[in-house]
Structure 1
Amino acid sequence: MECIMIASFILGSLYKECLSVRFQVSSIPSVSVALGSDVLLPCTLTPEKNGEKMEIRWFRFRYQPYVHLYINGKDDYTAQMPQFANRTELLKENITRGIFPLIIRNVTAQDSGEYHCYVESSDHHGMAAVQLQVTAIGTVPVISINNDTISCESRDWNPKPHLTWTDNEGNEINSSMVEVFRNENHLYNILSIIQQPNASYITCTVSNSINHSNDSRQIRELEHSQTSRDMRSRVYVIGASFILICFGCICLLLRSLCKYLLQLDGCTFFFQTSSNNKILE
């Protein structure tokens, strides 16, 4: 009798253990997607089970309001987060096999973060998490020269970018100020200022942990620009001086010519007066 009781206890324990692993919910660790694109967040049951009569809930920070809810065989949008309105869809083509990914359309920077896929049946539940990273390559950096300082600015990055300065030999230049902040679109802007270095040109490169490309680069030849400005200034000064000298010479020539003409008219008047007097005599 005691052996039967022990056997029953062992069988009951095994049965409960089997129930506790009735299915597992799985996804992938992370998904990256470009800003404005559509993204697919996977959610799968293992082993395969029909999920038509289960509750499938996608949520972020809290159980409710949710990102998307499928319950009682249909989608329920009554407590959906406002930012996801008309942008989500639970794909049900393979729901009988325990596969029901979520589509989020036209992703924004605010959509970045962790998502939870919670699945509940009549006798079991499980949950998996996936990290969504929305990426954005910002604008081409703009370098500006102001007296003894140089600034570099780039906008609309995600995730948070970093900025580096290098000279013509590839040596890094330390920034005197770096500012990174979110704009109205929840994307990152970055601004950096350095003291003007003794280099023939400088490079400002902006990148982040996702976008490693250096196509966001602008080069400004400082010495050449300064030399050009100096040369233009010298040309202006020389040209103005030449014009003034020419104007002065013309004025002197005109003055001399006027004196000559006045003297010539006086002599003519004298000779004419003398001739008239002789005739009268």
Structure 2
Amino acid sequence: MGFLGRTCLIVLSLLPKVSTQDGSSVVGSDQPLIASPGEDVILPCHITPSLSAVDMEVRWFRDSFDIPVHLYEYQSDWTDVQDSDYRGRTDLSIFRLEDGILSLDLRNLRHTDSGVYSCFATDGAWYGQGKTELIVRALGTQPSVSRDSTQGEQTRLVCRSEGWSPEPEVIWRDRDGNDVTSLSNTTVLRDSQGLLSVSSYIKIKQQSNVFSCLVRSKTPKPDWESKLHISSDFFPGVSGWMVAFFLTLALSIGAIPLLVIQWRRMDAMERKLEPMAAQPS
């Protein structure tokens, strides 16, 4: 908060609370407002008990009191002092102000709009302030799981997803559903648009398994999950079951000539016995 803003609040705090608004307060939202980029929202705020705010100063701001997201004073909107990022995207309804509703219309949301907004109202002798949190949630892409590298009997898998806001949570599970996230490490990068890309790595030793990567938004919105079957092809060397299989196959192939020889012997013996069986007793 700048020097002018601090001075304003100090002066207001020293003024006697004697006015028609004595006992009133400004109330924001106790729950975060969740929306997606491009949407329009209304940031809730009101005076309780209800009274008209048409002749008040109503100021919405985020980090700096001196750079308002929206400023209404002397029954007019002051866009020349407004934060340039919000210019042309905000509105206060004069009809709602008559009922003490200070809610701010915010259009065409951007992911950079996420944050805590303060709603400040004063008539010169009385003032009140409420807060509302806005989360602009961008659900990223379906995660992809692939082999990143192999060293000896150990393989490293990587799970990638991009286009998130705010930062998501990544959870790894094995075939049995066990959480193995503690074995992984995750890096997060911000792209040119300010959205987040995540890459999570995990090392595995199992020769055959199914691993799933869940990328979950920290806000109550849908999750993305991808699974990968880790076959023995990912690992060098020949596995035990393959040795057994080929050994059985070799023994079976080797036994074929012996069976053929035995069959021929039995066939020749039957032919010799046929004349003897045909003679009358």
Aligned match for 1:182, one of 184, 187, 190 = 190
C-alpha offsets along residues 115-171 of structure 1, whole Å, 9 cap, x if unaligned?
A: 111111143111111111111211100112133221111112222212111111112
Matches within 5 A, 1:71-150: 71-148=73-150, 149-150=156-157
Query: Structure 1 segments of 4 or more deviating over 3 A?
Result: 15-20, 211-214, 224-227
> Structure 1: how far apart are the matches of 2:167 and 2:210?
27
Question: What is the count of residue pairs matched by the alignment?
Answer: 213
State the shift of 1:17 in Å. 6.1
TM normalised by structure 1 equals 0.69
2:171 corresponds to:
164
Q: CA deviation at 1:224?
A: 7.2
Amino acid at match of 2:51: K
Equivalent-residue separation in structure 2 for 1:75 and 1:39 (angstroms): 19
User: Which amino acid in the other structure matches residue 219 of structure 2?
Assistant: I
Alpha carbons of structure 1 residues 62 and 164: separation in structure 2 relative to 1, 3 Å: same
Moved more, 112-121 or 186-195: 186-195
Q: Deviations over 1:230-257 (max 9, x none)?
A: 9xxxxxxxxxxxxxxxxxxxxxxxxxxx
Q: Is the 8 A contact 1:175 1:192 kept in 2?
A: no
Tell me if 1:221 matches 2:229. Answer: yes
Q: Note closer, same or farther for the CA distance 1:75–1:66 as it changes in structure 2 (3 Å cut).
A: same
Q: Which residue of 1 aligns with 2:210?
A: 201
**SS at structure 2 position matched to 1:83:** helix
Separation in 1, partners of 2:54, 2:210? 64
Cα 1:19/1:91, change in 2 over 3 Å? closer
Residue 192 of structure 1 aligns with which residue? Answer: 200
Please, which of 30, 52, 69 is the counterpart of residue 54 of structure 2? 52
Deviations 1:38-68 (A, max 9, x none): 1111121122222111111111111111100
Residues 216-225 or 188-197, more deviating:
216-225
Do the aligned partners of residues 16 and 114 (structure 1) sit closer, same or farther apart at CA in structure 2, a change above 3 Å counting?
closer
- Secondary structure, in 3 states, of the residue corresponding to 1:62? coil
* Rounded Cα–Cα distance in structure 2 between residues aligned with 1:16 and 1:141: 56
List gaps (5 residues or longer) in structure 2: 1-15, 151-155, 239-281
For normalisation by structure 2, the TM-score amounts to 0.69
Q: Does 1:39 align with 2:41?
A: yes
Shift of residue 110, structure 1, vs aligned partner:
1.2
User: Aligned match of 1:152 in 136, 155, 159?
Assistant: 159
The DSSP-based 3-state class of the residue aligned with 1:94 is: helix
Q: CA RMSD in A?
A: 2.4
How far apart, in 2, do the equivalents of 1:73 and 1:19 lie? 19
Q: Distance in 2 between matches of 1:178 and 1:75?
A: 46
Q: Partners in 2 of 1:170 and 1:22 — Cα distance?
A: 56
Higher helix share: 1
Between stretches 87-96 and 192-201, larger displacement belongs to: 192-201
Match of 1:28 in 2: 29
Larger Cα-atom Rg: 1
